[in-house]
Amino acid sequence: MLSNDLEVKLQKAPENKLKEKPDQKNLGFGVHFTDHMFVMHWNRQRGWHDAEIKPYQDFTLDPAAMVFHYGSNFDVQTQGQS
């Protein structure tokens, strides 16, 4: 995918849901979050597609997502190394 092929759908958060802006002199990592988030899907058939900027919200992960299995695999491998 070339960058000029990328279409991004924009869905703005309602005005009454916007967060108060933090003090610029007192920012911190993992403390303040934006009103919006970027989401993009991927699969083998289409590659990256359906790019979207939308209001900040929860998202779900498939229970079979590899992120869960890498952690448990690491734990099993390190148990015998104590």
pLDDT at 28: 87
Residue-wise pLDDT tens digits, 26-60: 888 999 999 999 999 999 999 999 999 999 999 88
The answer for residues whose C-beta is within 8 angstroms of residue 36's C-beta and 6 or more apart is 12, 13, 53, 54, 55, 56
Helix H segments across 5-54? none
Q: Give the pair of three-digit tokens for residue 71.
A: 């952690």
Q: Is the pTM of this model over 0.95?
A: no
At the topology level, CATH places domain 3-16+32-79 in D-amino Acid Aminotransferase; Chain A, domain 1 (3.30.470)
For 9-13, 36-40, 47-51, 67-71, which range has the lowest pLDDT when averaged over its residues?
67-71
What is the mean predicted confidence (pLDDT) over 6-13?
A: 94
